[in-house]
Chain A
Amino acid sequence: MAKVIGAVVVDNEECKGCGLCVVACPQDVLSQNKQVNGRGYHYSFMKNPEACIGCSNCATVCPDSCIVVYRVKIQEVRNEPVLVS
């Protein structure tokens, strides 16, 4: 059975810490960092990276377009994970 794994990359300096991506995530992957970026905002980061399914909801709601989303499908063939892009 195919399984989907995703990952997001947040541009820490562009993020304004509005928190809209945190509530848009269906898998509870993102969270706001306790650290602040150069402009004093609590930028988003992947708190729970294994759960990401690459649905791109976070990037869709991001008003500053600072999230990039990646996704891979993994097919289990003879118990060996094979990468299908």
Chain B
Amino acid sequence: MNLADIINPNNLVYEKPKLLTENTMHYCPGCSHGVVHKLLAEVILDLDIQEKTIGVSPVGCAVFAYNYIEIDWQEAAHGRAPAVATGIARCNPDKVVFTYQGDGDLASIGTAEILHACNRGENMVVIFVNNGIYGMTGGQMAPTTLLGQVTATTPNGRDAGRNGYPLKITELIAQLPGTSYVTRQSVHTPASIRKCKKAISKAFQAAIDKKGTSFVEVVSTCNMNWKMSPVKSNEWMVDNMFPFYQPGDLKDSTKADPASYTPLKN
């Protein structure tokens, strides 16, 4: 059988999701953002919520996310995506609202917004892409940078005495009663990508079911600023990021009663 017989629309098993636009993504070669965008598009298509999904894009590498997925978007100021999403979700309770944030956006300048939005249990999905570095501005140290990791502003590696410790914001958020589903995933192998898609799907389903905040951290790579090839940076992530940022579900109360937190009786 020759190639021309196989390459036939009847035999199609995988193609670009219809929700992604024809625009070429501005991300560097091998960037994890492209995979996460694709998973979002696939999940929104699978759940058939294209008409009622509103995304809030951050400041950072993913600032142009609205160019790539054909849904309604709102751009937020740096770190304020959860605050903007709170307003959108409260004004439009029938919509599915999600924010898409990086680690500089969510774990640094937007810490107050994300902690309080999650603590209030706003009905939204948060996609948190954590690559441990400020990608867009040229590879400076982020709060999530690992100890000893070399960046543009820590040329001898991050030192706990001078720069403090890396921030496990997902663990902080998992303690808050407002969150229903908190998980940490990665997108470095086909198996982990399929697992991550299931997690994103579950998070969106929780938002449709009005369960409170769902938080999906995606541990990812920034090969350009880590100064490695995309394949090498995936290996580096497995060897160095995973021992500190361990993948897996941190909290899953999507099946529990949303009001499981008992108020004071007086």
Contact = CB atoms under 8 A, between A and B. Distances in A.
Contacts of B15: 59, 68-69
Q: Which of B17, B32, B34, B193 has the most CB of A within 10 A?
A: B34
A30 interface: no
Given A74-B1, A85-B10, A65 B17 contact: yes
Given A20-B30, A20-B231, A71-B11, A64 B25 contact: yes
Interface string A26-60: 00000000000000010000000100001011011
B189 interface: yes
Interface of B is mostly: mixed
A65 B193 contact: no
B211 interface: no
Contacts of B189: 24, 61
Interface residues of A, number: 36
B246 interface: no
Contacts of B30: 16, 18-20, 63
Interface residues of B, number: 36
B12 A65 contact: no
A63 B28 CA distance: 10
B87 interface: no
Contacts of A18: 29-30, 230
Given A16-B29, A24-B190, A64 B24 contact: yes
Contact of B34 (A22, A63, A69, A71): A63
B52 interface: no
Nearest to A17: B29
Given A19-B230, A63-B31, A63-B33, A81 B1 contact: yes
Interface of B: 1, 3, 5-8, 10-17, 20, 24-25, 27-35, 38, 187, 189-190, 193-194, 229-231, 234
Q: Which 3 A-B pairs have the closest CB atoms?
A: A63-B34, A18-B30, A16-B29
15 contacts: A5-B6, A7-B6, A7-B7, A16-B29, A19-B229, A20-B230, A60-B14, A63-B32, A63-B34, A63-B35, A63-B38, A68-B16, A72-B11, A74-B1, A85-B8
